[in-house]
């Protein structure tokens, strides 16, 4: 979902602050870059990770092998010749026999046992052929764990949402339309079908009871009317990216949760005024005094399930146990679920920090070593994070007796770090610890303890001078090299001459600011986004220094190669606004998905397949800008190897108005599941209010479900297979382990 919050008014890493120093150091930095590159090779050789002249065999042996899909604006899913895409599981599909077929006319209710809306991140969990037990290598049956990030009220109701005060029936229908679903799928022919009657099918909604785990469990900041002890909470919302743990559970990231809550116009006063800690925190997380909620659920009546969405301080207690003033602190976490077992409550993993989470990607587990989990915070100017577990990895935990208890071992104790990028292609991870003097002594917010640091991770990251990035979305870890890839989707606040506290100057890791019609014809910014990648020192997930470069810059192929199309993308490779990112563990192929508005005049959103090299395989480049005062700015960046048709190609274009999101595959790599989120352009962009006149009618127009050629559009999971039964996207039948 496009959601462009901008709450980071900290003074971190403004290029203007360091510009003079950089210009005077520029020649020295070029020397430094060469040194850093040499250091990478040395570290790789010593760390057991492939070095530049010893590239992973997978990258040489497996080639992309399909005909590139052309950009287009057709209202369908386009895949290469020789592939078949089928709709598998769409919004509203019943998850048991008791729930009626989905009519898709706005009259349907009962989302507690229907597929939710806005399918987003997704993971596959294998079952044995009989469907009776987990089988991590099972490829004929499995459970899809699906995030349902949001919903379209125009399509959910007969004629849109009733304004505030919201009718109880409408709110009760909307609330379970988001959250998660777990749905069994099984092979049918070459493709797959979902199993309507499976015992594995279930929904998790904003009302599902959950447990708070990790350092913030029982914190004063987590106490609510629902849980005076601060140990429990209800539900998960705005679930965006995902992850799979090495022990076989599902991780879901809570992203733009702040928008679901309302605060009174005078709520700063009872909280102690504008400089009070709770007010500083609420402002930093985008819930300022007077905020209205996206859906107005708090106006639907006196029931506690509605009252909780008003987070104003209304009670008389000192600790917040008589109202929901702290409710916002129970959202913004990575949440762990066992896809195979609905009897255990989901766990909010507070050790991993609170922000607008996207995916959670594990570094390659090494026996005896801590696990690293990489994460991003998707708002303009927010940060890149990683968590390093206290516990070392035990190989027998890959198939544990109790998966969530195993999660406790790795995800409830450890260190949280935030990234700082330097111009010379190096960077460092800074621990967010109450023991850090910059955090303990931070003037803008007074941290009480480590739980407070985790609840207010953004403020702690401000305090230590983390680098503001161009909206970090998903991250993914290369299964051979262990390098970490982060999408930075776009940022219209990235400027050559920034004005005010929310605009950011171009810098080495976020180096572009330019105009492009139609969305940024006059207001420059990073219009098309880029993908940065990191190599940990020594290949060690616990390292505190790394090297980096920019794997790809999104751009239109016709854009200026010296300023915008720095990766020299061709018409078969060009893209805008990279968002979802996932590596196939079977083939090492990178799946890049887009969530774009800037290139929508030419093409719907898409998925590209990549065979990336590694950090340092390209060359440094200097961009030159003229500031408003006429002075010159030169920005040194580091561009990855220019892709070839063998290493980057467009694989899929989605229907009108959609975003391409969650991607996973069966363990054998022969069936690919992809989520198509929020097709439907007219209504989403405010150009129409009539569901039947929307510019998209997918997947009804593809013959799926009710409505046919004039159907209301529906988010849906599709399954893609190769007509010859081969693995997705690559030549031959080799896999990484064979090479
Ligand atoms: Fe849910 Fe940042 O996308
Ligand atoms: Ca996005
Ligand atoms: Ca354009
Ligand atoms: Ca996203």
Q: Which atom of ligand 1 is nearest to the CA of 120?
A: 1
Shortest CA distance to 120 belongs to which of 294, 286, 253? Answer: 253
d(CA 591, CA 650): 10
* Distance of alpha carbon 431 from the chain centroid: 22
The C-alpha atoms of residue 661 and residue 659 are separated, in whole angstroms, by 6
User: Does 382 contact ligand 1 (Cβ within 6 A)?
Assistant: no
Give the model's pLDDT for residue 39.
25
Task: Give the count of beta carbons closer than 10 Å to the beta carbon of residue 275.
Answer: 11
Q: Judge if the beta carbon of residue 149 lies within 6 A of ligand 1.
A: yes
Q: Is the CB of 75 under 6 A from ligand 1?
A: no
Ligand nearest to the CA of 519: 3
pLDDT of residue 683: 60
State the DSSP string of 235-275.
---SEEEEEE-TTS-EEEEE-SGGGG-B--TTTTTTTTSTT
Q: For the CA atoms of the chain, what is the radius of gyration?
A: 24
The domains of the chain are located at 15-53+69-257+331-722
d(CA 414, CA 353): 11
CA of 556 to the centre of ligand 3 (A): 7
Longest dimension (CA), the chain: 72
Phi, psi angles (nearest 5°) of residue 737: -70, -20
Residue 138 burial class via C-beta count within 10 angstroms: exposed 0-12, middle 13-18, buried 19 and up: buried
3-state secondary structure of 113: helix
609 burial (CB, 10 Å; 0-12 / 13-18 / 19+) is: buried
Q: What spacing in Å lies between the alpha carbon of 560 and ligand 3's midpoint?
A: 12
Query: Which bound ligand lies closest to the C-alpha atom of 600?
Result: 3
Does 1 contact ligand 1 (Cβ within 6 A)?
Answer: yes
Atom of ligand 1 nearest to the CA of 358: 2
Terminal-to-terminal C-alpha distance of the chain: 38
Which ligand is nearest the CA of 376, by number?
1
In sequence order, what are the residues at sequence separation of 6 or more whose Cβ sits closer than 8 angstroms to the Cβ of residue 188?
none
How remote is the CA of residue 381 from the centroid of ligand 2, in Å? Answer: 14
The tens digit of pLDDT for each residue in 257-297 reads: 999 999 999 999 999 999 999 999 999 999 999 999 999 99
Span from the CA of 18 to the centroid of ligand 2 (angstroms): 30
Ion ligand 3, residues whose Cβ is below 5 A away: 516
Question: How far is the centre of ligand 2, averaged over its atoms, from the C-alpha of 552 (Å)?
Answer: 17
Ligand 1 atom with least separation from CA of 489: 2
Ligand 1 atom nearest 659 alpha carbon: 3
Other C-beta atoms lying within 10 Å of the C-beta of residue 139: 18
Instruction: Using 50 as the pLDDT threshold, list the residues of the chain that sit under it.
Output: 1-3, 13-59, 739
CA of 421 to the centre of ligand 1 (A): 23
CB distance 596 to ligand 1 below 6 Å: no
Which pair of structure tokens corresponds to residue 262? 């309302």
* Ligand 4 center from residue 605 Cα (angstroms): 13
Q: What does the alpha-carbon distance between residue 221 and residue 626 come to, in Å, rounded to a whole number?
A: 47
On whether the CB atoms of residues 212 and 348 are closer than 8 A, the answer is yes
User: Which of left, alpha, beta for 657 (phi over 0: left; psi -120 to 50: alpha)?
Assistant: left
- Residue 249's nearest CA partner among 357, 407, 373 is 407
pLDDT of residue 18: 30
> Which atom of ligand 1 is nearest the CA belonging to 378?
2
Counting ligands in written order, the one closest to the CA of 256 is 1
Is the CB–ligand 1 distance for residue 473 below 6 Å?
A: yes
Atom 3 of ligand 1, nearest CA residue:
1
My answer on whether omega of the bond before 306 falls inside 30° of 0, hence cis, is: no
DSSP state for residue 167 in the 8-state scheme? P
What is the 71 CA–ligand 3 centroid distance (Å)? 13
Please work out, in degrees rounded to the nearest 5, the angle formed at the alpha carbon of residue 464 by the alpha carbons of 30 and 320: 155
Please give the pLDDT value at position 36.
28
C-beta of 659 in contact with ligand 1 (< 6 A): no
CA distance 179 to 117: 9
Structure confidence at residue 44 (pLDDT): 23
CA distances from 538 to 141, 197, 424, 728 (A): 39, 49, 18, 32
């Amino acid at each position: 979902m496009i959601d462009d919050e901008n709450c980071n008014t900290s003074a971190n890493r403004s290029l203007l602050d360091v510009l003079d120093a950089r210009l005077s150091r520029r020649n020295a930095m070029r020397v430094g870059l060469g040194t850093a590159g040499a250091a990478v090779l040395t570290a790789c050789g010593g760390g057991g990770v492939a070095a530049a002249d010893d590239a992973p065999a997978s990258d040489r042996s497996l080639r992309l092998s399909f005909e590139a899909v052309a950009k287009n604006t057709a209202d369908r899913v386009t895949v290469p010749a020789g592939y078949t895409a089928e709709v598998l599981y769409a919004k509203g599909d019943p998850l048991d026999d008791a729930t009626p077929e989905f009519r898709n006319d706005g009259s349907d209710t009962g989302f507690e046992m229907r597929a939710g809306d806005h399918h987003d991140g997704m993971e596959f969990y294998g079952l044995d052929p009989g469907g009776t037990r987990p089988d991590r290598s099972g490829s004929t049956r499995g459970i899809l764990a699906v995030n349902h990030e949001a919903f379209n009220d125009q399509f959910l109701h007969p004629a849109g949402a009733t304004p505030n005060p919201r009718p109880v029936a409408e709110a009760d229908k909307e609330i379970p339309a988001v959250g998660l679903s777990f749905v069994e799928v099984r092979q049918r022919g070459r493709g797959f079908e979902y199993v309507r009657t499976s015992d594995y099918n279930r929904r998790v909604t904003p009302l599902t009871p959950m447990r708070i785990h990790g350092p913030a469990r029982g914190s004063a900041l987590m106490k609510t009317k629902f849980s005076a002890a601060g140990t429990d909470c209800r539900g998960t919302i705005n679930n965006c990216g995902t992850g799979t743990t090495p022990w076989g559970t599902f991780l879901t990231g809570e992203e733009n949760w702040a928008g679901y809550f309302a605060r009174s116009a005078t709520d700063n006063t009872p909280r102690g005024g504008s400089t009070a800690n709770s007010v500083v925190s609420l402002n930093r997380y985008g819930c300022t005094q007077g905020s209205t909620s996206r859906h107005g659920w708090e106006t639907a009546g006196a029931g506690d399930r509605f009252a909780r969405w008003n987070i104003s301080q209304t009670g008389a207690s000192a600790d917040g146990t008589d109202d929901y003033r702290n409710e916002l602190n129970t959202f913004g976490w990575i949440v762990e679920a066992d896809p195979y077992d609905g009897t255990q409550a989901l766990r909010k993993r507070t050790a991993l920090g609170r922000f607008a989470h996207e995916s959670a990607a594990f570094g390659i587990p090494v026996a005896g070593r801590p696990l690293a989990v990489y994460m991003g915070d998707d708002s303009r100017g927010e940060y890149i994070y990683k968590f390093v577990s206290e516990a070392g990895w035990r190989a027998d935990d890959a198939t544990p007796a109790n998966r969530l208890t195993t999660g406790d071992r790795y995800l409830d104790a450890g260190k949280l770090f935030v990234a700082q990028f330097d111009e010379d292609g190096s960077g460092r991870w800074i621990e967010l610890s109450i023991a850090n003097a910059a955090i303990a002594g931070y003037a803008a917010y007074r941290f009480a303890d480590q739980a407070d640091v985790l609840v207010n991770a953004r403020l702690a990251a401000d305090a230590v001078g983390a680098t503001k990035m161009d909206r970090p979305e998903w991250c993914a870890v290369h299964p051979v090299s262990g390098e970490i890839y982060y999408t930075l989707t776009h940022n219209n606040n990235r400027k050559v001459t920034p004005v005010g506290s929310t605009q950011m100057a171009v810098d080495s890791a976020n180096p572009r600011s330019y105009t492009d019609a139609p969305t940024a014809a006059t207001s420059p910014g990073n219009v098309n986004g880029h993908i940065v990648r990191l190599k940990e020192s020594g290949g060690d997930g616990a390292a505190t220094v790394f090297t980096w470069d920019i794997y790809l810059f999104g751009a239109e192929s016709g854009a200026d190669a010296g300023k915008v199309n720095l990766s020299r993308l061709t018409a078969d490779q060009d893209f805008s606004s990279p968002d979802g990112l996932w590596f196939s563990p079977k083939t090492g192929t990178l799946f890049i998905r887009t969530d774009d508005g800037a290139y929508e005049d030419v093409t719907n959103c898409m998925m590209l397949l990549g065979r990336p090299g590694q950090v340092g395989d390209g060359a440094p480049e200097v961009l030159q800008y003229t500031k408003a005062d006429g002075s010159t700015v030169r920005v040194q960046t580091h561009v990855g190897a220019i892709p070839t048709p063998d290493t980057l190609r467009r694989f899929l274009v989605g229907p009108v108005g959609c975003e391409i999101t969650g991607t996973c595959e069966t363990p054998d790599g022969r069936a690919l599941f992809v989520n198509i989120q929020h097709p439907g352009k007219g209504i989403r962009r405010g150009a129409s209010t009539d569901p039947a006149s929307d510019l998209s009618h997918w997947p009804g127009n593809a013959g799926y479900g009710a409505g046919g050629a004039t159907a209301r559009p529906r988010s849906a999971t599709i399954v893609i297979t190769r007509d010859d039964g081969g693995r997705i996207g690559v030549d031959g039948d080799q896999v990484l382990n064979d090479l």
